[in-house]
Amino acid sequence: MRSKIRYQLLDPSAAPKTFKFIWILLFLAVCFVAYYLWIFNPKKGIYDPLTTDKQNPMTYEQVVNDLRNEIDQRNAIISELQKDFVKMELKTEFKAIYPRRPETDHIDCGRILADDKVYLQTVSGKDRVKIVENKNLNMSCSAIMNRILPSGNDLKPLKNGVAFARIVYTDYEMIEKQVQMSYHPQNSFCFAIDKKAPSQFHERLRAMAACLPNVLLLPDEESVDSAGHNINLAHYNCLRVLINKPGWNYAILLQNHDVIVKSVYEIEQIYDWLGGANDIEITPEAGRVDNKKFKWDPVSLKMFRNETGIDKNVLTTSMKFAKGAVQGSLSRGAVDWMVRTVDLSTYINQWNEGSSGVDEQFIQSFQVSADLGMPGHFTDECLKQKRNTDFVSRMSQWMYGSAHKCGSKTVRHAICLLGIEDLRTVAAYPNLMFNKMIPAFDYSIVECTAELLYNRTFLGQVDHPLEENYYAQMVNVLYHKNHLEPNYKLECKPSYTRWAEREYPL
Ligand SMILES: *[C@@H]1O[C@H](CO)[C@@H](O)[C@H](O)[C@H]1NC(C)=O
Ligand SMILES: *[C@@H]1O[C@H](CO)[C@@H](O)[C@H](O)[C@H]1NC(C)=O
Ligand SMILES: *[C@@H]1O[C@H](CO)[C@@H](O)[C@H](O)[C@H]1NC(C)=O
């Protein structure tokens, strides 16, 4: 403002020639004032066109031009500085951004999350991105560590970690991605490999387990199949190994293509709300129990390692049965009980003699056999009321009708395969894992989910706050918390809308 006024005063064309004398006086006065300002100015040394070169007085035009040049120069410097600043900001942000594989590099996960349907069209259907496997993946320990724990990303300590028990047979790079997505030094990862898996897959998992102290690989391998044979045994063997690891308060059972969709901090919070209750799907047993060949009471099952002090009635009465997803969450107390208080070998062997769906009764039956006393257990009361019990550990979308209702419009074995169209559902649902993502079908859903968790974990982004009310009001959680209270009444219908009744896909 001041310099603008000065321009007008110094502009000779604006003043009549007869007033030149007054102008000279005024100019001298201005010089005088400027001189004093310069003397008392703490920022002495800043260029002032009015005080330079006293021997060679300037014309008005020169002064004005000098001032203009000076201002132009400073503006140029300011704009350079501003550009540098923007670049620096971009750079620090760039460092923190989730590193993508090349084939998914062009996918803008943020736009899909923001429901940009036009954009979604360009990365789904025929433009769906499949994984391009790296045949020469560097399996040196430092290369594995660099992929799983990118430097500069610090994790806060957890009050309680998680133990992952996963049965695997294929897609090593996706398995390693799963470890990265849930990695925390306090978490433990146990893998049981299907004996039939290719040798390179075995070698790679061995390299990962040899490198990271909290990645455990079972030494004995069994052959698992789609009828569920040996699935329970593999999980049980993982639990036996995991119980020796400190630092976790829940174990979660998974299979190859189940993807955890909550960050390590979110999982810690969710399990805190479950408060020790196991999270297991409970639906009616489907007539698969072989009662002709086998007995199912604890004595016949050689279940309790020490039968002293256990009610005779409990020991000689057949346990109860239920059916549900193989995936589920068990409290540390439940795992400790399964491994140290009881021995489930006979129980597992008897089920392995069956013909189909033999793995779907394992944790369910202990969960509903309240008398056996597994910590965090539930009851069979809701089954008697013909109500299934909700669980949040796994989301899978059963689809018996048209595949058109699946986000990806693709169905396999009556379950929707997940595609990039499911990202919004993945981000919004309360479930801990989604089943199933197949890298050879759609890898961008895996990468966008990984980026989502990365953003939540390392960039502190909150896209969907956790629904505390959901977890804390689950039927099994309320039962666990209150069933020993004298006036407790079991309510089998939850007060909230179950995820399975929600809109799908979002
Ligand atoms: C993750 O954060 C980055 C940086 O803010 C953003 O560009 C990207 O869209 C986010 N992705 C998701 C899936 O939220
Ligand atoms: C594998 O990665 C390590 C560490 O990043 C590096 O030193 C080594 O040269 C790499 N090996 C190959 C064959 O690229
Ligand atoms: C079996 O349990 C009883 C009662 O709890 C206990 O007194 C006994 O020491 C236990 N026996 C063994 C071998 O642990």
pLDDT of 451: 97
pLDDT score of 35 more than 80: no
**Percent of the residues in the chain that have a pLDDT greater than 70, as a whole number:** 86
Residue with tokens 């997803």: 325
Whole-number Å distance between alpha carbons of 51 and 45: 11
- 66 within domain boundaries: no
Is 437's pLDDT higher than 80?
A: yes
Verify that 32 and 154 share a domain, yes or no. Answer: no
d(CA 465, CA 499): 16
User: Domain check: are 430 and 311 in the same one?
Assistant: yes
Q: Would you state the structure tokens that stand for residue 8, as one six-digit string?
A: 């007008």
Q: pLDDT-derived band of residue 226, with 50, 70 and 90 as boundaries?
A: very high
Q: Are residues 381 and 241 in the same domain?
A: yes
The Å distance, Cα 140 to ligand 2 centre, comes to: 7
Q: Residue 360 is part of which domain span?
A: 141-501
Report the C-alpha gap between 202 and 217 in whole angstroms. Answer: 10
Report the nearest-CA residue for atom 14 of ligand 2.
138
Closest residue (by CA) to atom 10 of ligand 3? 306
One-character DSSP codes across 277-328: --B--BEE--S---TTT---STTTTT-BS--TTS-HHHHHSPPP-EE--S-E
Q: Is residue 305 part of a domain?
A: yes
Q: Is 141 in the pocket of ligand 2 (CB under 6 A)?
A: no
DSSP per position, 193-220: E-TTS-HHHHHHHHHHHHH-TTEEE-SS
Confidence class of residue 82 from pLDDT cuts 50, 70 and 90? confident
156 and 29 both lie in a single domain: no
Q: What angle do CA 136, 140, 146 make, to 5 degrees?
A: 95
Give the Cα separation of 482 and 502 in Å (integer): 28
Identify the residue with better confidence: 226 or 60: 226
Q: Which two tokens stand for residue 92?
A: 């620090």
* Burial grade of 385 (CB within 10 A; 0-12, 13-18, 19 or more): exposed
Q: Is 328 among the domain residues?
A: yes
Q: Is pLDDT above 60 for 280?
A: yes
What's the pLDDT at 17?
52
Is the residue at 175 inside a domain? yes
Same domain, 329 and 476: yes
Q: How many residues does the chain have?
A: 506
Buried b (16+ CB within 10 A) or exposed e, 175-188: bbbbbbbbbbebbb
495 and 347 share one domain: yes
Say how many Å lie between the CA of residue 453 and the centre of ligand 2. Answer: 27
Convert the pLDDT of each residue in 235-275 to its tens digit: 999 999 999 999 999 999 999 999 999 999 999 999 999 99
Integer angstrom CA distances of residue 30 from 9, 61, 220, 301, 480: 10, 16, 94, 106, 87
pLDDT of residue 10: 45
Instruction: Give 139 Cα–ligand 2 centroid separation in angstroms.
Output: 8
Token code pair at residue 183: 């990695």
For the chain, the first-to-last Cα distance in angstroms comes to 56
Answer yes or no: is 201 within a domain: yes
- Mean predicted confidence (pLDDT) in 410-428: 96
Residue among 447, 426, 419, 505 nearest 107 (CA): 447
Residue 7 pLDDT greater than 50, yes or no: no
Tell me the two tokens of residue 385: 């009321």
Which pLDDT value is given to residue 412?
Answer: 92
Residue among 94, 104, 453, 461 to mutate when testing ligand 1 (max atoms within 8 A of CB): 461
Can you give the pLDDT at residue 71? 73
pLDDT on residue 6: 42
Structural contact between residues 109 and 422, judged by C-beta atoms closer than 8 angstroms: no
Does 140 sit in the ligand 2 pocket, CB within 6 Å? yes
Name residues contacting ligand 1 (CB within 6 A).
97, 109-110, 113, 448, 451-452, 455, 459
Whether residue 212 lies inside any domain: the answer is yes
Same domain, 151 and 36: no
Scanning the structure block, which residue is given the tokens 């090349």? 102
Average pLDDT, the chain: 90
Arithmetic mean of pLDDT, 165-187: 97
Ligand 1 atom with the smallest distance to the CA of 454 is 1
pLDDT digits (tens, 9 = 90+) for 40-57: 555 554 545 455 555 666
Q: Would you say residue 239 lies in a domain? A: yes
3-class DSSP state of 80: helix
Helix/strand/coil percent split, the chain, to 5:
45, 10, 45
Say if residue 198's pLDDT is above 90.
Answer: yes
Inform me whether the pLDDT recorded for 170 exceeds 70: yes
pLDDT at 344: 98
In this structure, the answer to whether residues 403 and 281 fall within a common structural domain is yes
Whether residue 309 has its Cβ less than 6 Å from ligand 3: yes
Confidence label for 220 from pLDDT (cuts 50, 70 and 90) = confident
CA of 144 to the centre of ligand 2 (A): 10
Q: Say how many Å lie between the CA of residue 159 and the centre of ligand 3.
A: 33
Residues 471 and 357 in one domain: yes
Query: Helices 199-211 and 172-181, interaxial angle, to 10°?
Result: 20
Among protein residues, the one whose CA lies closest to atom 13 of ligand 3: 306
Q: Which ligand is nearest to the CA of 341?
A: 3
- Taking only the tens place, the pLDDT of each residue in 103-143 is 999 999 999 999 999 999 999 999 999 999 999 999 999 99
Is the CB–ligand 3 distance for residue 306 below 6 Å? yes
Residue 220 contacts residue 237 (beta carbons within 8 Å): yes
The total domain count for the chain is 2
For ligand 1, the distance from its centroid to the CA atom of residue 181, given in whole angstroms, is 15
Residue 36 shares a structural domain with residue 147 = no
Mean pLDDT, residues 414-418:
95
- 355-368 average pLDDT score: 97
Does residue 208 fall inside a structural domain?
Answer: yes
